[in-house]
Amino acid sequence: MQDINSACIRVHGTIKVSRLLTGIKRFTIMERKWLLPLVASSLISISLFLLATLSLGASSQGARSSLFNVFSSKKGDHPQEMYVDSKLVQIPPSGGPAPPILAYLISGTKGDGNRMRRALQALYHPRNQYVLHLDLEAPPRERIELARYVRMEPTFLEAGNVYVIGKANLVTYRGPTMIACTLHAAAILLRRSKDWDWFINLSASDYPLITQDDLLHVLSYLPRDLNFIEHTSDIGWKEFQRAKPIIMDPGLYMSKKSDVFWATQRRAVPNAFRLFTGSAWITLTRSFIEFCVWGWDNLPRTVLMYYTNFISSPEGYFHTVICNTREYLNTTVNHDLHYIAWDNPPKQHPLTLGLADFQNMSQSGAPFARKFEKDDKVLDKIDKELLGREEGRFTPGGWCVGNSDSGKDPCAIMGDSSVIRPGLGAKKFESLIVKLLSPNAFRSSQCVAHS
């Protein structure tokens, strides 16, 4: 039955693509007009490629909805659409596929309150969901201030999509408490909103390089079951320095923070599953997050318990789970959607980005970059040249319908959140996506098992 359904959608999808290609004029695309031909030529061919290669036979609801969303134009044109859960069908007012919904975690520690506020303003879009976590090291006053800002901002009140975690966690950098905190935020997001598509993990020292309209626009053309996670099974030196040592994170059971400590014993590398490692910055689908949080399959739980005693577990937990699960390994895209500069050879921490990196950063096509110093000049340049954001305001987008005369903030009046107005950032991000999903790059870098 499922096969028949997906076959119907497949045929149906193709019809829609050709309609999209031949009937571009049919759409009343105002906002996205100039970008469409470009997207139509490259992203749609990629979508078709993915259509043909993603394992549709075992398609879950997620996979089906993703296919449908890629090609959905207007509801009710075709009786066949009845195959798809009606709640999955969203109708964008301007034609083109419906933009997805993103769920962000922005986390920080003592002294990060203002940075998180700035990052939130730069990343804000009324469609999305946001959870802010200031860890237990930050004084309560700072958390209360952040919560007050969120409570007083009329835009947040209207959209109801920003949440500050009041009962903060003690987080040890490199320890399992970091994973626990990420899973905690993901669980809150699952509960608060039924329909986001991707979970994105950021810290106070991250910053966007493109607008949310750019990001949502390009993602709207992609299947919703792709997981962006940079990974490798070539663990190299990490086998000796990470996989074999046993650590303990006092953050799990002490009320004050202290660093992890090391046991004298060492352990063997697992053979019940294969270890993967990679970037701690992830963009994961709702379906995969549910798989990890709900735990109906025991693997995510077993791997979580294994990583309790592992140094730098955020660089391995999701990677190991996803690459050891048949249903998900073919959904991985081997990139973390970040611009990060490393020393050569890489050290523990990435380089701090400044004005000298602006050119490379903005050309990378990555939606996010890290890490930045508090209020660095390059952030102002990003605001001005890449985001069009003014100090203290939101990054403008199609949802901002207010008057902008004499310096007024157009985002003071919230319009339809599915109206997207992409700019140059969308083009750059699109090129990155096209590169990542190109037939020779995409499949060949998915969960490759090095011996």
If the CB atoms of residues 90 and 302 are measured against ligand NAG, the closer one turns out to be 302
How far is the CA of 349 from the CAs of 16, 105, 296, 338, in angstroms?
A: 47, 21, 36, 15
Question: In the bound complex, what is the minimum distance in angstroms from residue 386's beta carbon to ligand NAG?
Answer: 17
Question: In the bound complex, what is the minimum distance in angstroms from residue 292's beta carbon to ligand NAG?
Answer: 10
Question: In the bound complex, what is the minimum distance in angstroms from residue 142's beta carbon to ligand NAG?
Answer: 16
Question: In the bound complex, what is the minimum distance in angstroms from residue 336's beta carbon to ligand NAG?
Answer: 10
* Residue located via tokens 């290609």: 21
Burial state string for 295-307 with b = 16 or more CB within 10 A and e = fewer than 16: eeeebbebbbebb
Question: In the bound complex, what is the minimum distance in angstroms from residue 368's beta carbon to ligand NAG?
Answer: 11
Amino acid 58 reads A
Residue pair 164/147 in contact (Cβ under 8 Å)? The answer is yes
Report the distance separating Cα 114 and Cα 142, nearest Å. 9
How many CB atoms within 10 Å of residue 160?
Answer: 11
Q: What are 438-447's contacts with CB under 8 Å, separation 24+?
A: 438/46, 439/49, 442/333, 443/53, 445/334, 446/329, 446/330, 446/332, 446/334, 447/231, 447/233, 447/276, 447/322, 447/323, 447/329, 447/332
Residue pair 133/150 in contact (Cβ under 8 Å)? The answer is no
If the CB atoms of residues 41 and 241 are measured against ligand NAG, the closer one turns out to be 241
Question: In the bound complex, what is the minimum distance in angstroms from residue 308's beta carbon to ligand NAG?
Answer: 14
For 189, the 3-state DSSP assignment is: helix
Question: In the bound complex, what is the minimum distance in angstroms from residue 179's beta carbon to ligand NAG?
Answer: 5
For 199, the 3-state DSSP assignment is: strand
If the CB atoms of residues 7 and 30 are measured against ligand NAG, the closer one turns out to be 7
- Tell which residue, 444, 433, 430, 447, has the closest CA to residue 37: 430
Q: CB nearest ligand NAG: which residue?
A: 314
Residue pair 114/235 in contact (Cβ under 8 Å)? The answer is no
- What is the chain's Cα-based Rg? 22
Question: In the bound complex, what is the minimum distance in angstroms from residue 28's beta carbon to ligand NAG?
Answer: 39
Residue pair 24/39 in contact (Cβ under 8 Å)? The answer is no
Question: In the bound complex, what is the minimum distance in angstroms from residue 356's beta carbon to ligand NAG?
Answer: 5
- Return the DSSP state at 170: P
If the CB atoms of residues 280 and 333 are measured against ligand NAG, the closer one turns out to be 280
If the CB atoms of residues 118 and 421 are measured against ligand NAG, the closer one turns out to be 118
Contacting positions for ligand NAG (CB under 6 A)? 55, 107, 178-179, 182, 201, 203, 280, 282, 314, 318, 326, 330, 341, 356-357, 360, 443
If the CB atoms of residues 59 and 418 are measured against ligand NAG, the closer one turns out to be 59
If the CB atoms of residues 75 and 443 are measured against ligand NAG, the closer one turns out to be 443
If the CB atoms of residues 41 and 360 are measured against ligand NAG, the closer one turns out to be 360
Question: In the bound complex, what is the minimum distance in angstroms from residue 318's beta carbon to ligand NAG?
Answer: 6
If the CB atoms of residues 28 and 359 are measured against ligand NAG, the closer one turns out to be 359
Residue pair 322/228 in contact (Cβ under 8 Å)? The answer is no
Contacts of 70 (CB under 8 A, 6+ apart): 13, 47, 51, 97, 221, 222, 223, 224
If the CB atoms of residues 107 and 227 are measured against ligand NAG, the closer one turns out to be 107
